[in-house]
Amino acid sequence: MTGIENLGDVRGKRVLVRSDLNVPLDGTTITDDGRIRASVPTIKALADAGARVVVTAHLGRPKGEPEDRYSLAPVAARLGELLGAPVAFAADTVGSSAQAVVAGLADGQVALLENVRFNAGETSKDDAERGAFADELASLADAFVSDGFGVVHRKQASVYDVAQRLPHAMGTLVAAEIDVLKRLTETPERPYAVVLGGSKVSDKLGVIDNLLGKADKLLIGGGMVFTFLKAQGHEVGKSLLEEDQIPVCLDYLARAAETGVEIILPTDIVVADAFGDEASARVVAASEIPAEALGLDIGPESGKAFAAALADAKTVFWNGPMGVFEQAAFAEGTRAVAEALTTTDGLSVVGGGDSAAAVRTLGFDEAAFGHISTGGGASLEYLEGKTLPGIDVLGG
């Protein structure tokens, strides 16, 4: 596995960089530019070294053909602002516009290609179709740098196949992410606490299964907690529930007891009779959720208990909000966890996705956390022990 320094002298070379620029948009307005900012160091390092940098990325989930709402044009403008230099934008990915834009680059200049997922070959399950598209991408460059951590768990043309066709290296962002994940899985300083939230237990099955043998404490909140509460025999009202996962939750609780892993569940819940901005929130005991109520956050006592449980941790990994943090009435559980991570005397890792969005939405200083991942799905799959194709193809 090599870093960009191992590409040698890149002056005058066309370097294709796979970044993760999949940012939320309100129309054409970027509402969270965290992933763009995270992509800048690698792009700038290559440009400063005289490379002709060709950035490729996706946005949203188009169906293999162009859709205006998923255009990367607003991202090109913001990337240029962050780099302090214009970013040329190609109106397609491998067509006449891309070829002309790349041909027009001078040493040290940067271009962004249109959404790579506007091409069916990018996500095709057919190796030949995906490979043919990768050939077109590779023809635009002399070397490839993988720096989109949020997609390294995908076997896609711009992530996996291009690396087989060009001299390749790992970008600084991906290298930093992998370094942190190795610390979480191979040499965690103890006590090691894992906080899991989000909507579904089924999304986190592999992580819980793998970390039951590694973590000292497992704190569970978010929508997934209600399946655990139901497994304990409690009423959960109209809260999110995965009935088919109740036996799995019971098994996890039993295994934790056998192995000495402390599973911490909330003791109080913020509920409402309906979901929405006008919802009337109230706090009830986790064991006494009314049949007509909908659980939307962990309660204030649980927030304090979670923070106390994290106080002595030397390593903390957090993935998934504790409640519907986008609404003020249901944001305090997530805020309590985030606040606790900022005071951790050790490595605190925010596992990307909604957790990273929550940190920024709730106004926290990102520098107060040890590491904020740009890829929730990739982080989870790594912690499950899965092989990440985009890393494996780089030789690491």
188-384 and 4-175 share a CATH fold: yes
Q: Tell me the one-letter amino acid at 367.
A: A
Tokens 């909140």 belong to residue: 221
Extents of the domains making up the chain: 4-175, 188-384
User: For residues 164 and 7, what is the distance between their CA atoms, to the nearest angstrom?
Assistant: 15
Annotated binding-site positions: 20-22, 35, 58-61, 117, 154, 204, 295, 326, 352-355
> What was the pLDDT predicted at 396?
53
Q: List the catalytic residue out of 353, 375, 376, 390.
A: 353
Task: Report whether 111 contacts 88 (CB < 8 A).
Answer: yes
Q: Is 64 a catalytic residue?
A: no
User: For residues 221 and 316, what is the distance between their CA atoms, to the nearest angstrom?
Assistant: 15
Is CATH 3.40.50.1260 the classification given to domain 4-175? yes
The pLDDT tens digits for 171-196 are 999 999 999 999 999 989 999 999 99
Q: List the catalytic residue out of 35, 52, 130, 155.
A: 35
Annotated binding-site positions for ATP: 204, 295, 326, 352-355
> What was the pLDDT predicted at 2?
74
Whether residue 286 is predicted with pLDDT greater than 80 in this model: the reply is: yes
Q: What is the CA radius of gyration of the chain?
A: 22
Q: Is 282 a catalytic residue?
A: no
> What was the pLDDT predicted at 64?
96
The pLDDT tens digits for 246-277 are 999 999 999 999 999 999 999 999 999 988 77
Annotated binding-site positions for (2R)-3-phosphoglycerate: 35, 117, 154
Q: Is 214 a catalytic residue?
A: no
The pLDDT tens digits for 113-150 are 999 999 999 999 999 999 999 999 999 999 999 999 99
- Mean pLDDT of the chain, nearest integer: 95
> What was the pLDDT predicted at 1?
53
3-state secondary structure of 127: helix
Annotated binding-site positions for substrate: 20-22, 35, 58-61, 117, 154
Q: Is 130 a catalytic residue?
A: no
Q: List the catalytic residue out of 37, 78, 183, 200.
A: 200
How would you list the strands of the sheet with 52-56, edge to edge?
87-89, 110-112, 52-56, 14-18, 143-146, 168-170
- CATH number of the structural domain 188-384: 3.40.50.1260
